Amino acid sequence: MTRPRPTIHDVAREAGASIATVSRALNGGVVSAAARERIEAAIGRLGYRRNDVARGLVTGRSGLVGVVLPDLIGPLYAHMARGIEDVLDEHGMHAMLVTDHLEPDAERRAIELLRARQVDGLVLIGSRLQPADLRAAAGSVPIAHVQRDGPDDEAPQVRLDDAAGVRAAVEHLAAAGHRRIAHLAGTRRDGIERREAFVAAMAEAGLEPGPIVDGGFTEEGGEAAAAVVLDDPDVTAVFCASDRMAVGLLHAAQRRGITVPDDLSVVGFDDLTWARYLCPPLTTVRQPGREMGRAAARLVLDGPFDAAVPVLRIAPTLVVRASTAAPRSHGPAAPSQRRHEPATEEVIAPEIPPPP
Amino acid sequence: MTRPRPTIHDVAREAGASIATVSRALNGGVVSAAARERIEAAIGRLGYRRNDVARGLVTGRSGLVGVVLPDLIGPLYAHMARGIEDVLDEHGMHAMLVTDHLEPDAERRAIELLRARQVDGLVLIGSRLQPADLRAAAGSVPIAHVQRDGPDDEAPQVRLDDAAGVRAAVEHLAAAGHRRIAHLAGTRRDGIERREAFVAAMAEAGLEPGPIVDGGFTEEGGEAAAAVVLDDPDVTAVFCASDRMAVGLLHAAQRRGITVPDDLSVVGFDDLTWARYLCPPLTTVRQPGREMGRAAARLVLDGPFDAAVPVLRIAPTLVVRASTAAPRSHGPAAPSQRRHEPATEEVIAPEIPPPP
DNA sequence: CAACGAGGTGTAAACGTTTCCAGTCCGGCG
DNA sequence: CGCCGGACTGGAAACGTTTACACCTCGTTG
């Protein structure tokens, strides 16, 4: 009933050719028209499909790029994976996704697993591995990082231009008239960069930075951290280093009867799928995950065009929705959005500063 | 600098043993303690790692289960993938994810690609392929479906107990006093099942079904379809076959100045990540994606325990949030939630009816 | 004391490809 | 007519494993 799969040998016999000729016909080598025709007919008759495992063994390549990412649930990571698939598709290659749930040990195992499968390259999203451990695990497989969390190593990386995004957010708030702006920060590397950028951008705007509290990037952390921030009566705006913390902040504000944006303006970071559905729709810095994934895939396939500049910065955009407005003290409050009106969006793309 | 990877031969030479012994040591065969020790030392010294491609070629198995799914962006699919990974992990296996973006042709290619890589099993999420095409593409690889979209075939499948979910939703609305309930339907197979279940559940509740409009499962479709439904002045509640359509409905209602839940109750389906963040937080039927993924993975690894019942129904739960209340005509409107108060959730798990 | 079995080991044949190399055939040129 | 070279072909050696089989060495048992 269920016969073994036909091999290239079966095709050769059926077509009256040698396996070498069949292989050439399959891979676009020089083969006479007659032979090619007989072989194609035989393939059709037998239902032959190439065995990529055997092929991989002899060629040493697999047509696979391994992708190690924290999880599949986060929309941002999913978008990055999508971007990677975009460009791999163009090259006739495929992605193999492995999740590490932010555990360095799982990350190491994931890399070794992928290497055992002979992946032709590796895209690591948010990698925390030390450079030495990384090199040990990955051997000579080319690597590209996306938003690497650990210290820089020699592999090329794609990073969001966090500073530009933060600057856009702070400028937006400052322009609206906010003077005391708080910051909900995250603990990972990008959180620290955003925090530093926040302080710098405030200085640029001629403002003292308001209270800065760590919310660990999560809803719960944001909610807890928000409590601290909301105790400061002078704070009229909060810039959050992630949308998830912004949600927590929104909840905390609601619980205290603080109305957004009338009493408090809130800016998030990431523009997750649902940021636009929040109450009110969230003004936030959009992280172009798909583009970042694309860039990383190109990097891993072609290598960095310029070995001297191994970090490629991608520009974010500020998406202005309904969670920001002028502060109350600034005269009559701007008319708050009608309760359920989907906000019109305004997208602000900062000019990209050339990397130093 | 970058030497070729050591092979089992190198280990054998270094340890003064034969490759057969090394292989046995690696795979837990009978080997003397002395030899095992020498081999392990050699492996450490050389940094040897097994080549799974070569291994796969001779064993005929890959330790991989192929997963074909519409996309990675939808949180529901991502949860299913996570569930699959859960049980594969327990078996020391791994998933290879390929997206088909709902195109049957891409689905076929995905399956053939995975088969060329010798996957040991296939989990197909929302497959639309005809049974014949499917068999042709998959050959003898074991298959398990999740929420198959095409007509049944002989492969075991995991399905949501759509009817139970719909019944819970309708009962919830009827109990609140709603008499004329509309339905935003979807066009895929599960949409049709939900629609039929809606009619049946309404009958069970002693009610005429209200208007039923196709919204194609998307936000835009939901918004368009909502316009039709909202024209009926007697409709006090709408049951949507997906959360995405519920979002569209919410927007349309807002635009018309219809307040939810005071003027209109809305129930969604799926409980996507952000359903709780909507304005107001959405009452919805939760689809336990991760469980479904787990069940499917078990099915593909162990085969169906009972070949006679190839469809495994998973029970959904109704999550009651703030988008549903008693209709206005029912005396003074129930006090609507305070504007931003995160709704307390009430979860209703329907008793699972034994499959017929 | 012979025979046997248990434990351990090595040789070699697969697995299904790609690819190097050495042909064979034929037409055209000197 | 002899050669050369181009177009095409097939044999065979890899690639790095697993595993069937044969063998060897002891200690134990009849």
Is some CB atom of chain A closer than 8 A to the CB atom of B321? no
* pLDDT tens digits for range B152-169: 999 999 999 999 999 999
Chain A neighbors of B282, CB-CB under 8 A: none
CB contact residues (below 8 A), chain B span 74-113, against chain A? 75, 78-79, 81-82, 85, 94-99, 112-113
Q: Which of A240-244, A289-293, B271-275, B350-354 is predicted least confidently? A: B350-354
Q: What does the pLDDT read at residue A328?
A: 84
B335 pLDDT above the threshold of 60: no
Average pLDDT, chain A: 92
Percentage of the residues of chain A whose pLDDT score is greater than 90:
86
Task: Tell me whether residues A82 and B73 touch, CB distance under 8 A.
Answer: yes
* pLDDT tens digits for range B257-316: 999 999 999 999 999 999 999 989 999 999 999 999 999 999 999 987 776 668 999 999
* pLDDT tens digits for range A57-91: 999 999 999 999 999 999 999 999 999 999 999 99
Please tell me the distance in Å from B356's CA to the nearest CA on chain A. Answer: 32
Task: Tell me whether residues A53 and B62 touch, CB distance under 8 A.
Answer: yes
Strand C atom within 7 Å of A24 CB: yes
B171 burial via Cβ count (<10 Å: 0-12, 13-18, 19+): middle
Domains with residue ranges and CATH for chain A: 8-50 (1.10.260.40), 63-155 (3.40.50.2300), 162-286+315-348 (3.40.50.2300)
Q: Which amino acid is at A51?
A: N
For residue B175, the tally of other CB atoms under 10 A from its CB is 10
Which of A5, A48, A52 is the best residue to mutate to test the B interface, defined by the most B CB atoms within 10 Å of its own CB?
A52
Q: What does the pLDDT read at residue A267?
A: 98
Chain A neighbors of B94, CB-CB under 8 A: 98, 113
| Average pLDDT score over residue span A121-140 | 96
- A59 CA vs D6 C1’ separation (Å): 28
Is some CB atom of chain B closer than 8 A to the CB atom of A7? no
Strand D, nucleotides < 7 Å from a protein CB: these are 7-12, 14-20
For residue B190, the tally of other CB atoms under 10 A from its CB is 21
Name the nucleotide with the smallest C1'–CA separation from A19: D10
Whole-angstrom distance, CA of residue B326 vs CA of residue B334: 6
* pLDDT tens digits for range A8-17: 999 999 999 9
Strand C atom within 7 Å of B116 CB: no
* pLDDT tens digits for range A20-36: 999 999 999 899 999 99
Q: If you measure CA to C1', which residue is closest to nucleotide D20?
A: B20
* pLDDT tens digits for range A246-300: 999 999 999 999 999 999 999 999 999 999 999 899 999 999 999 999 999 999 9
Chain A neighbors of B54, CB-CB under 8 A: 57
- B62 CA vs C11 C1’ separation (Å): 27
Helix (H) or strand (E) holding B146: strand B143-146
Whole-angstrom distance, CA of residue B195 vs CA of residue B187: 10
Phi, psi of B103 (to 5 degrees): -100, 125
Q: Which amino acid is at B216?
A: G
Q: What does the pLDDT read at residue A303?
A: 80
Q: What does the pLDDT read at residue B53?
A: 98
Task: Tell me whether residues A250 and B340 touch, CB distance under 8 A.
Answer: yes
Q: Among partner residues A53, A255, A340, which is closest to B117 by beta-carbon distance?
A: A53
Q: Among partner residues A56, A97, A118, which is closest to B97 by beta-carbon distance?
A: A97
Give the dihedral sign, CA B171/B176/B181/B183.
Answer: negative
Whole-angstrom distance, CA of residue A97 vs CA of residue A124: 10
What's the half-sphere exposure (Cβ side, CA atoms, 13 Å) at A30? 0
Please tell me the distance in Å from A271's CA to the nearest CA on chain B. Answer: 13
Q: How far is CA B164 from CA A57, B171, B236, in A?
A: 50, 10, 22
Per the CB < 8 A criterion, the answer to whether B80 and B296 are in contact is: yes
Per the CB < 8 A criterion, the answer to whether B216 and B187 are in contact is: yes
Whole-angstrom distance, CA of residue B248 vs CA of residue B231: 15
Q: Among partner residues A85, A117, A254, which is closest to B53 by beta-carbon distance?
A: A117
Task: Tell me whether residues B274 and A279 touch, CB distance under 8 A.
Answer: no
The H-assigned helical ranges of B16-74 are 19-26, 33-46, 52-59
| Average pLDDT score over residue span A27-53 | 95
B333 pLDDT above the threshold of 80: no
